[in-house]
Amino acid sequence: MNKTLLTTLAGFLASASLNAAMAAPQTNLAVNGDFELGDTSSWVSFPTPNSTFDVTMDANTGTFAGTVFNDDQASAAVIKQANLGAGVVATGDVVTITFSAKGSGAAGGVVFAEFFSEIAGGGVSSSEILSGAPLPLTGSYQTFTFTATAGSDVSGGVTLQFAVVTGANIGSTSELFVDDVSVSVPGGATNYCTAAPNSTGATGVMSASGSFVAADNSLTLTASDLPTNAFGFFITSMTQGFVANPAGSAGNLCVAGAIGRFVFPGQTQSSGAGGSFSLTPDLGQIPTGTVIVPALPGQTWNFQAWHRDAVGGMTTSNFTDGLSLTFQ
């Protein structure tokens, strides 16, 4: 994308006034659940003396997955997405847990997936082993989907845990490959607007994780299914809209009205080898195109990502779908 096209796009964003689009719900609380950051960040690990937890390119989708190997006799190597959605998940919420996994075990080695409703300050109000038994893993990735009900106290959020367990027998081993982890709750954030396919053939997707409580200031925006090593940034507005091919882009703009761009130092992104990028914006400093304002409880903001792309050898740009988020 050349400077002229960037300038044209900026001018278009500053003057856009568009119509709203249809919505479809999605609120994924997991952070780096697909390991596409190329590391194990946002995962909490409790290893055994000799166990390993790392990323691998043996992925179900994208470039990376996570892998845990444990060969310490009669032990459990644990990884978890911990304390997700504190202040967002409510008592009685139906939580949908989805992940892809494969693995193997020898001499009693197994893998459990477990779900906890956490109490702030320590302890849990409920816990369960998903499926009620070890995961029936094979040598090929399978997609697992479970639902769990949030317990009577979720002030500390919820936790998804994988325990890679060995038996008491000599030579017991257990190995897990896991990818595409999501922990979703109703409400909070909603995907809307149809994205145009980018040069990968996929459509870019927006998601949000962390806390939807404005005062927590710990919301992470993620754009995924992008071309690799593509420059981009997030945009936002309190108004939804739709227009195809704005300023010569190959994509669809899904916001309207006063549109702000997250282009302050450190906010522009590269999709890297994994084809995704994320930003944890300062919710006290939301751009609107003219002024900076804070996000307030009860307000609904719409987010989208713009990124460079190429079609037929020609440089262009594209957009993800939109994400509408109501702050608490």
DSSP assignment string, 245-310? SGGG-SSEEEEESS-EE--STTT-EE-TTTT-EEE---TT-EE-SS-EE---TT-EEEEEEEEEEE
- Judgement on whether residues 114 and 192 belong to the same structural domain of the protein: no
Calculate the CA 150 to chain-centre distance. 20
The domain boundary residue, chosen from 184, 210, 231: 184
Contacts of residues 215-221 at CB distance under 8 Å and 24 or more positions apart, as own/partner, are 215/297, 216/86, 216/87, 217/282, 217/283, 217/284, 218/280, 219/280, 219/281, 219/283, 219/325, 220/31, 220/278, 220/279, 220/280, 221/278, 221/279, 221/280, 221/281, 221/303, 221/305, 221/323
Q: What rounded mean pLDDT belongs to the chain?
A: 89
Confidence of residue 87 (pLDDT cuts 50, 70, 90): confident
| Residue 34 is assigned to a structural domain of this protein | no
- Judgement on whether residues 263 and 292 belong to the same structural domain of the protein: yes
Calculate the CA 252 to chain-centre distance. 22
The CATH number of the domain where 159 resides is what? 2.60.120.260
Q: What is the amino acid identity at position 130? A: L
Per-residue pLDDT, 24: 35
pLDDT single digits (tens) 242-277: 999 998 899 999 999 999 999 999 999 999 999 999
Provide the token pair at 107: 């001499």
- Judgement on whether residues 169 and 238 belong to the same structural domain of the protein: no
Alpha-carbon distance of 65 to 173, in angstroms, equals 20
Per-residue pLDDT, 105: 96
pLDDT over threshold 60, residue 284: yes
User: What predicted TM-score, i.e. pTM, was given to this entire model?
Assistant: 0.57
Percent of the chain scoring above 90 in pLDDT: 74
pLDDT single digits (tens) 154-205: 999 999 999 999 999 999 999 999 999 999 886 667 889 989 999 999 999 9
The domain boundary residue, chosen from 126, 157, 184: 184
- Judgement on whether residues 192 and 173 belong to the same structural domain of the protein: no
pLDDT over threshold 70, residue 220: yes
- Judgement on whether residues 178 and 101 belong to the same structural domain of the protein: yes
pLDDT over threshold 70, residue 18: no
> What is the span of the domain harbouring residue 293?
3-27+187-326
Per-residue pLDDT, 17: 36
CB proximity list for 248: less than 8 A, separation 6 or greater: 5, 8, 316, 317
- Judgement on whether residues 106 and 218 belong to the same structural domain of the protein: no
Rg, the chain, Cα only: 21
- Judgement on whether residues 53 and 176 belong to the same structural domain of the protein: yes
Alpha-carbon distance of 64 to 62, in angstroms, equals 6
| Residue 125 is assigned to a structural domain of this protein | yes
Whether 234 and 223 have beta carbons less than 8 Å apart is answered as: yes
Per-residue pLDDT, 160: 98
Per-residue pLDDT, 10: 52
pLDDT single digits (tens) 24-80: 344 688 989 999 989 999 999 999 999 999 999 999 999 999 999 999 999 999 999
- Judgement on whether residues 87 and 152 belong to the same structural domain of the protein: yes
| Residue 179 is assigned to a structural domain of this protein | yes
- Judgement on whether residues 171 and 193 belong to the same structural domain of the protein: no
| Residue 36 is assigned to a structural domain of this protein | no
- Judgement on whether residues 169 and 237 belong to the same structural domain of the protein: no
The domain boundary residue, chosen from 167, 184, 201: 184
Closest by alpha carbon to 206, among 115, 319, 78, 48?
319
| Residue 235 is assigned to a structural domain of this protein | yes
pLDDT over threshold 80, residue 323: yes
DSSP H/E element including 7 = helix 3-15
| Residue 39 is assigned to a structural domain of this protein | no
- Judgement on whether residues 53 and 139 belong to the same structural domain of the protein: yes
- Judgement on whether residues 89 and 105 belong to the same structural domain of the protein: yes
Annotate 20-71 with DSSP letters as a single string.
---EEE--B--SSTT-TTSS-TT-EEE--TT-EEEEES--SSSS-EEEEEE-
Confidence of residue 316 (pLDDT cuts 50, 70, 90): very high
Whether 305 and 319 have beta carbons less than 8 Å apart is answered as: yes
| Residue 237 is assigned to a structural domain of this protein | yes
Per-residue pLDDT, 8: 47
| Residue 15 is assigned to a structural domain of this protein | yes
Question: Residue 170 CB: number of other CB atoms within 10 A?
Answer: 7
Number of domains in the chain: 2
Per-residue pLDDT, 148: 95
